Amino acid sequence: MSCIRARMFFAVAAFALLPYLAVPAADSMPAQDAPRKVVEKPEQKAADKKPASPDKAAQPAKSISIVVVPAKAAKPAEKKAAAPAKKAPPAPEKPADQNEAFAQQFEGQFGKQFQHLYRTELHLLRVVCKLTKPQYQKVAAEGEPALKATKQKFLDTWRNQQQGKWDRSGKGQADPRETLSAELEKALQKTLTPEQAAAYKKERDLRTAAQRRAVVKTLIVMMDRHLVLSAEQRDKLHEILDKNWNDSWYTYVVRFGGYYFPAMPDAKILPILNEDQKAIWNGIPKANIFYGFNGLYGLVGDIGEFEETWDDDVPAKPVQPTPEKKADKKSKQPSNKAEKK
């Protein structure tokens, strides 16, 4: 657990330095800060990301540059041929290999997190749709393409980032759970009954609404900290943000813990501010952090694997209990009332 805490604090430190690590948005990115192009293999990245010691730092760096791996046109036929070339002299990298390497690296780094995402979402589906164990197993099998599609979307985003092709539209900051649940809804169209599908859809909509409420409120709080808004201004702002909702706000606000501002509808906001508030608001940086995809919420991987439990689950290593132990064990078994709820 202490290791987990250490990791958490590392994340806090990294978070503090985020402005310097993230890619500035297009409008705030001066030409001299444009990404440097460095040809490298994906597996070299980890080593190269280590900060250079002062005596080794050879290149001037005004801010951290994003490492760019030049993209090459993929030729599927070369994929197999390149694999056994272990003893051959180093040849120019095959693009297909590179894509494969990215996919493998992505799976190694984030595969478990996506599995967790999938299992927990299936659990929600199970509870909401009141699935029996066989139904659940069917849904879990038929939902696999949804997991695959979700991973593919984030793999594409991540690979582009690794290659320096950052999408500054905000799409790269999509919410993985929302993406997965949308894919699941599609994949399970024929598996779920109309009632079950409707129940899941309703729950998804309620979640989206809750997210939106939380984000809008957080944005108002963030503004209030700077601008000391009146209650009336907060109400107006609520209306403005709700009407001008932007999907990218969710990840922006949740990921950054309600600290950095995304792009805001200033044309609508400024008229409700007084002159002093306007002066402060105009000086606050907005949308100058671009996080992209760098794994799911930092802590997901640390809380262990999600295990679906059923009333008829048999313990993995059944011990032959004595009659006395048997009775004792029965009394200690967790209640499954909540499960049935």
Window 175 to 214, contacts with other proteins (CB under 8 A): 176-177, 203, 206-207, 210-211, 213-214
217 near other proteins, judged by CB under 8 A: yes
Binders in 105-134 for other proteins, by CB under 8 A: 116, 120-121, 123-124, 127-128
CB-based contact 185:204 (threshold 8 Å): yes
Q: Pick from 63, 160, 246, 294 the residue near other proteins by CB under 8 A.
A: 63
Binders in 229-248 for other proteins, by CB under 8 A: 230-231, 234
- What's the min distance (Å) between Cβ of 16 and other proteins? 7
Let me know the angle formed at the C-alpha of 157 by 103 and 201, rounded to the nearest 5 degrees.
105
CB-based contact 106:176 (threshold 8 Å): no
- What's the min distance (Å) between Cβ of 225 and other proteins? 6
163 alpha-carbon distance from chain centroid: 19
Which of the stretches 139-147, 184-192, 219-227, 262-270 binds other proteins when contact is defined by CB under 8 A? 219-227
218 near other proteins, judged by CB under 8 A: yes
Q: How far apart are CA 21 and CA 32, in angstroms?
A: 16
CA dihedral 286, 291, 292, 293 (to 10 degrees): -150
Q: Pick from 2, 32, 320, 322 the residue near other proteins by CB under 8 A.
A: 2
Which of the stretches 130-138, 160-168, 302-310, 316-324 binds other proteins when contact is defined by CB under 8 A? 302-310
Q: Pick from 259, 321, 325, 328 the residue near other proteins by CB under 8 A.
A: 259
Q: Which residue has the tokens 């930092």?
A: 298
| Burial zone of 119 (CB within 10 Å; 0-12 exposed, 13-18 middle, 19+ buried) | middle
312 near other proteins, judged by CB under 8 A: no
Binding-site size, other proteins (CB under 8 A)? 100
Q: Which of 227, 211, 229 is nearest to 284 (CA)?
A: 227
